[in-house]
Structure 1
């Protein structure tokens, strides 16, 4: 029988233990662990959640990897066409874990209403387009259908709708400048069949999603010519590897660029979140460990007489240290239990209500996103428990300094 665990249980269950001098210190230690695990869970869930949402939105507007002509065009507007007759289209068979290959083309335009005007990027897509991203952020109407004849249906953002007073079902004019500025611009009358709101203001205030055949006609391209291809992959963590493989498998006149390469500043910024998460975890574990060290030392000093009796009965220092480490482990587990309960409750409330909001101009999202994965929660709990117990091994050595003769005093 593990008598060390038996003694630890008796200490924990004793009424004197609950009303002793060490009781408030123990409660403070448990609260510190609970708060620490809550803060760590929130830091990880919101940090990873924000990273994923920003990656998702950048990829939703650009695809994970873009294949375009190899030229010096760094703008959002496609200038030279690419032939659709490629080995990798419509299915990229030579590279694994590719979900979809879709064509696109973009053209600068101006929306003109009776009272106002606004410059926009007219993004043309085809029937092969994956609408999953816009389905999530569709706030009104429906998604356009480009599978039949040239469609005048377009998808606009809530930002454009509010600024230009274009409501669902309204038709409006979009003008496109011709290569010869002396000629009258192209005019397209389109209809807003859907309104989206991603909260990514840099894109929302610019992009109108339309039928690619409008751009093909205005640019005098054939139906086999497009602005480029967007490649969607299964796992974003493999994007650098897949970008390299896609680049290798495309022709010498084509360039494959990942969304990370296209927006390096944004990805460098969100990668800094990892450093913040590691720092918060280190600080919280250190605070919890220091509180547990204090509680353990108080428990040992409060039980010096019991330690002396156990030594007089032949118990070794290692066995007695185990008794108090078991006791400390129980306190840590209590703190972890309440911390997990509170942390999960807070995160679930935020996940399903979005009660805490953010400035989309700064963070590219309207509310704090939450990423929940029980793997990281389990690892966080195990790591906290192990690190706290390791930190308690050294202070528990004070038990070996207690003299049984001096400590056994009966009054």
Structure 2
């Protein structure tokens, strides 16, 4: 292990080991180390921020909607909702599908809110006692969530802060709503709570109430609803579960002849554009990773070449003593690996430190009107952390192989004579 021994001696006597070193390679090696550290830190921060942002927005989308929905296909091309039978038999059929965590009924009805001074269009979303309200509790900013059921009316609604500001409403106020079908129907509700998700496609129109009220407004039977929201144990199982549900329900009709259709959240008109935009962020991440690895590799190559040029006399002596070009190359590759690992250590401390600071202190804020969240979210995952470090180390070491062949051009007679 002569190569490793010499590399350790070079490393401990390198400019990094002394702040007073006047070697010609000192600036280049320090720049290379700093370049690796900054490059790795930027890569960690980029991946952590993008993955955290994707997770946060995806969580909001699936919290208010669901990864998979089962509806009448006519409902997707019409402002009005069409009923399908969602009795216990259908719900059990869906819930028994592998990967399904929870199945819940929803009913929808378009209408208008009218106050003395203003009006606003809205979509009344009715839910029952089987609906998981944990997400809405997290988004609630004022008031409380009523008990929503399918067998009686609560006469209460939960509206968005955007709609409350538009109509000048607060918790406890009462408001009239109007619905148009064959005849105009009127209903008065009490504002029980106000939510805010920062997702405009939901905050702008959606109002939460009980399933019983919406079914009455639609003149539907108790066994009917607009459809089912299907939540999964893992979002990664979405394609598999959708395919299984499609085999069971697509092209199948209920007892009244209404067809079922299974659609995923990335196909739904309300959410498809947002999810497509989130997927495009992965391309931006790849571009940044490639650029940072290239910059780090170039600075390291420059530092290694300068170091080899500075150590030509040492290389000449080693060759005169019988050391082969291969062994000398291995010596400088070991030395380069020490520098790379030192830079990566600094980069990990810097990158993970900044990610942790943002995660707990929320120092960097965002405009929720544009980005759906109030602060930059971060995600720290052990798998991608190890993956980035291993990939960076491997690629930079491969980049060192070519400049290491420069030692074969050193002639012992000339370098020793020069000294």
TM-score grouping bracket, smaller chain normalisation? over 0.9
Alignment deviations for residues 129-186 of structure 1 (CA, whole Å, 9 cap, x no partner): 1223223323333333225742133222222233333223x232141223235x4x32
SS in 1 for 2:91: coil
Provide the residue aligned with 1:143 in structure 2.
Answer: 145
Does residue 214 in structure 1 map to residue 222 in structure 2?
A: no
Q: Among residues 310, 315, 318, which one is paired with 2:318 in the alignment?
A: 310
Moved over 6 A (4+): none
* 1:65-214 correspondence to structure 2 within 5 Å: 65-71=68-74, 73-75=76-78, 77-78=80-81, 80-85=82-87, 87-90=89-92, 92-147=94-149, 149-168=152-171, 170-181=172-183, 183=184, 185-192=185-192, 194-214=193-213
Q: Cα distance, 1:366 vs. partner? A: 3.2
Give how far 1:361 is off: 4.2
Q: What are the superposed Cα offsets for residues 74-107 of structure 1, whole Å, 9 maximum, x if unpaired?
A: 24642x2212225341463541010111000111
Which stretch of the first structure deviates more once superposed, 14-23 or 329-338?
14-23
The TM-score normalised by the length of structure 2 is: 0.90
CA distance in 2, matches of 1:13, 1:293: 20
Paired residue secondary structure (2:104): strand
- Between 1:142-151 and 1:372-381, the stretch displaced more is 142-151
Return the match for 2:288 from 265, 280, 299.
Answer: 280
- How far residue 35 of structure 1 moved from its aligned partner, in angstroms, is 1.4
Q: Distance in 1 between matches of 2:141 and 2:232?
A: 26
Cα distance change of structure 1 residues 338 and 143 upon mapping to structure 2, 3 Å threshold: farther
**Partner Cα distance (1:354, 1:144) in 2:** 32
Count of aligned pairs: 405
Match of residue 267 from structure 2: 261
Partner of 1:336: 344
Q: For each residue in 1:340-379, what CA deviation from the matched residue of structure 2 results, as whole angstroms up to 9, or x when unmatched?
A: 1111122222223333233444433333221210110111
Per-residue CA deviation, residues 262-315 of structure 1 (Å, 9 max, x unaligned), is: 143333222211111111111110110000000000110111111111111111
Deviates more, 1:113-122 or 1:96-105: 113-122
CA contact (8 A) 2:159 2:207 kept: yes
Q: 1:57 aligns with which of 53, 56, 60?
A: 60
Structure 2 match to 1:346:
354
Higher mean Cα deviation, 356-365 or 250-259? 356-365
Bigger drift between 347-356 and 33-42 goes to 347-356
Distance 1:31 1:76 in 2: 58
Which deviates more from structure 2 when the two are superposed, residues 157-166 or residues 302-311?
157-166
CA RMSD of aligned residues (A): 2.1
Change (3 A) 1:209 1:399: same
Matched-pair contact (CA < 8 Å) for 1:127–1:145: yes
Match of 2:256 in 1: none
Q: Distance in 2 between matches of 1:90 and 1:122?
A: 26
- Structure 1 stretches lacking a partner, 5+ long: none
Gaps of 5+ in 2: 254-258
